[in-house]
A and B are shown apart, each in its own frame.
Chain A
Amino acid sequence: MSETARVINEPWPSLPRQREAVTFAVWLFLATEVLFFGGLFLGYTVYRWLYPEGFLIGAQETDIVYGVSNTAIIMTSSLTMAVAVRAAEQDMRRMVFRCLIATALFGLAFLVVKGFEYYDDIIRGFVPGPHFPLHQTGAELFWTFYWVMTAVHAIHLTIGIGMVATLTVLLHRRKLPLVSPAYEGVALYWHLVDIIWVVLLPLLYLIGRAS
């Protein structure tokens, strides 16, 4: 059986049609993700508009070193993911394999940095509740958004790492030929998780630094 015949599924008459369907469907899913995170962004915007002082005071307490390092890490993971897809198109199996592993490792590195950051945040007491250290109205609300947005993002990234790891194993066992549209589908999701973080960076880490 040829590689194309192995990856083609019902009801697609040809691989290009199936590829188009996968890309289209993943983008539709990503549109729902944009609206899902959009709800959080909208809530953040409204409350920042209502309590500008509290949000600035709250944001000054996030650790920019963690935020910027993780941005660099996740952008680099997007680079290796993009190269993996390009290498798959050119039938460079070893390169795809290496780039997928690198992508999953960068994703894990992001989560490790995030873990250290969460540990610091908890030690310093920035957990919304009765013992929250800041008393300016809105500061605690900012931290609620910080926890929810970063946690939901981390869950997305964890799912992404799982999918990249699955692709890597399937590729290694020669069960997923390089012509499969699955590589591009997973890559699209991965890049969206990167874009979400790129938007989170200024909202959670960059505001309130100049004042």
Chain B
Amino acid sequence: MSRQTIELWKGPLLIWAALCVLLAITTGSAYIPLGPGNGLINMTVSALKGALIMLLFMNIRTSSVLVRIASAAGLFWLTFMFALTASDYLTR
């Protein structure tokens, strides 16, 4: 294998390995009764995996400010959607 090929795969493989470790953590912990802790671990791991993919695979870490703003837009309005709905259902 050429040096260039190794250099090419090294970074993405590390990210992939991290994603696999996170998948193992979230799957394993699902079988341990932790009450609300299960949901917390699941959501934290999902957020971490999403962040790894977005920052490193989708190159947000090295993108321009314009692209970063666009990438945050969906999540920004999603928080409004959840917050406004929660203000109804959680306060009844």
Contact = CB atoms under 8 A, between A and B. Distances in A.
A210 B30 contact: yes
A182 interface: no
Given A38-B82, A206-B38, 11 more contacts: A24-B67, A28-B73, A31-B71, A49-B90, A64-B27, A76-B16, A192-B58, A198-B53, A207-B30, A210-B32, A211-B33
Interface residues of A, number: 50
B73 A31 contact: yes
Nearest to A194: B53
Contact of B12 (A32, A64, A79, A202): A79
B53 A199 contact: no
Interface string B1-42: 000110011011101100110010011001111100011001
Chain B interface mostly? helix
Contacts of A191: 53-54, 57-58
A211 B37 CA distance: 13
21 contacts: A24-B67, A27-B71, A27-B73, A28-B73, A31-B71, A34-B75, A35-B77, A42-B81, A50-B89, A64-B30, A71-B23, A72-B20, A78-B16, A82-B12, A83-B12, A184-B59, A187-B58, A191-B53, A194-B53, A195-B53, A206-B42
